[in-house]
Amino acid sequence: MKRIITYGTYDLLHYGHISLLKRARELGDYLIVALSTDAFNWNSKQKKCYFSYEKRKQLLEAVRYVDLVIPEECWEQKAEDVKLYKVDVFVMGDDWKGKFDFLKEQCEVVYLPRTPEISTTQIKKELGK
């Protein structure tokens, strides 16, 4: 079984996220999403989420491409996660291109093209939030 992992905040889940999850899942047989916790978002990513971790987790678990959701609590957990979950492929959108190449010692690293025209920031802006 080919195991894939990807990381993110996934707030205000939209079709750009779904497209990334679909393409990530298609690279293997099992997709793990490490979902940024509220504390990690606030303290390390300066992101204030609209939905709490539990709500974002519930939404992701309803996505057909997602097999497991685990918490992302810090930047440094990736190498440990790859080992712990026996990951074969690490996947991120290409806005992160090159940032996680250090993981190539442990697994394949793939950066997939982002969906350019949509973002949570833009949704919030257009809704006047």
Nearer to ligand C2G, 76 or 105 (CB): 76
Name the one residue in this structure whose structure tokens are 């097999």.
Answer: 67
**∠ Cα 30 41 99 (to 5°):** 60
Judged by CB under 6 A, does residue 44 bind ligand C2G? no
Judged by CB under 6 A, does residue 17 bind ligand C2G? yes
Task: Map the footprint of ligand C2G across residues 83-122, applying CB under 6 A.
Answer: 92-93, 95, 114-115, 118-119
Among 3, 4, 5, 10, binds ligand C2G (CB under 6 A): 10
Q: Using CB under 6 A, list all residues that contact ligand C2G.
A: 6-10, 16-17, 20, 36, 45, 72, 92-93, 95, 114-115, 118-119
